[in-house]
Chain A
Amino acid sequence: MKILVTAKRVTDPDSKIQLKPDRSGINLDNVDFKMNPFCEIAVEAALQLVDAAGDGETVVVAIGDSDATKEIRTAMAMGCDRGILVEADEAQLDSDAVARVLAAICVKEKPDVVLLGKQAIDGDSNQVGQLLAEYLGWPQATFAYKIALNGTSGATVQREVDGGVETISLSFPAVITTDLRLNEPRYASLPGIMKAKKKPLEETTASALGVDLSLKVESIGFEPPPARKAGVKVKTVDELIEKLAGEAKVI
Chain B
Amino acid sequence: MATILVLAEQHGGKLTRATLSAVTAARQLAQIVGGGFDIALAGTGLDAVAAALTPYGAGAVHQLEHEALAGYTAQAYAQAFASAAKATGAQYVVAAATSNGKDTTPRVAARLGAGMASDVVALSAHGGGVAYKRPMWAGNVLGHVKINTAVQVVTVRPTEFPVAEASGGASPIQKSAASVDAGSLRMKYVGLDKVESSRPELTDASVVISGGRGLKEASNFKLVEKLADTLGGAVGASRAVVDAGWVPNDWQVGQTGKVVAPKLYVAVGISGAIQHLAGMKGSKTIVAINKDAEAPIFQVADYGLVSDLFGVMPELTEKLASRKG
- Which residues in A have some Cβ–Cβ distance to B below 8 Å? 11, 13, 16-19, 26, 38, 94-96, 99, 118-119, 121-127, 130-131, 133-135, 137-143, 145, 156, 158, 160-171, 174, 179-181, 214-225, 228, 230-235, 237-238, 240-241, 243-245, 248, 250-251
Contacts and interface: CB of A to CB of B under 8 A. Distances in A.
Given A142-B102, A164-B193, A231-B302, A250 B115 contact: no
Interface centre among B105, B106, B119 (most CB of A within 10 A): B106
Interface centre among B72, B146, B231, B303 (most CB of A within 10 A): B303
A115 to B, nearest CB: 16
Contacts of A122: 136-137
A127 B284 contact: no
A163 B140 CA distance: 27
A137 B184 contact: yes
A145 B245 CA distance: 13
B139 A225 contact: yes
A231 B303 contact: yes
B194 to A, nearest CB: 4
6 contacts: A124-B135, A131-B109, A138-B186, A160-B249, A233-B298, A251-B231
A231 B115 contact: no
Given A139-B187, A163-B250, A228-B281, A217 B243 contact: no
Contacts of B145: 217-220
Given A124-B119, A216-B115, A130 B74 contact: yes
Interface in B212-248: 231, 239, 242-243, 248
Nearest to B107: A134
Interface in B184-211: 184-195, 203, 207
Given A131-B106, A232-B303, A240-B305, A250 B263 contact: yes
B292 interface: no
Contact of B100 (A131, A141, A161, A181): A161
A93 B298 CA distance: 37
A119 B106 CA distance: 13
Contact of B187 (A125, A168, A216, A234): A168
B118 interface: yes
Interface stretch (B22-30, B35-43, B87-95, B312-320): B312-320
A17 B231 contact: no
Contacts of B248: 164
7 nearest A-B residue pairs (beta carbon): A216-B115, A139-B187, A231-B302, A130-B106, A134-B110, A134-B107, A167-B190
Contacts of A223: 133, 141-142, 144
Interface centre among A19, A38, A221 (most CB of B within 10 A): A221
Contacts of A123: 136
Given A164-B194, A241-B319, A94 B142 contact: no
B86 interface: no
Nearest to A171: B186
A160 B187 contact: no
A219 B190 contact: no
A91 to B, nearest CB: 12
A165 B109 contact: no
Contact of A230 (B139, B207, B298, B312): B298
B115 to A, nearest CB: 3
Interface in B64-122: 72-75, 78, 98-100, 102-107, 109-111, 114-119
A244 B287 contact: yes
Contacts of B301: 230-231
B190 A168 contact: yes
B256 interface: yes
B162 interface: no
A211 B259 CA distance: 35
B140 A225 contact: yes
Nearest to A132: B110
A121 B255 contact: yes
A248 B285 contact: yes
A171 B248 CA distance: 28
B145 to A, nearest CB: 5
B167 interface: no
Given A17-B141, A234-B303, A181 B249 contact: yes
Nearest to B188: A169
B43 to A, nearest CB: 15
B123 interface: no
A220 B115 CA distance: 15
Nearest to A169: B188
B173 interface: no
A118 B194 CA distance: 21
Contact of B303 (A16, A180, A243): A243
Given A17-B141, A220-B144, A163 B195 contact: yes
Nearest to B297: A230
Nearest to A10: B137
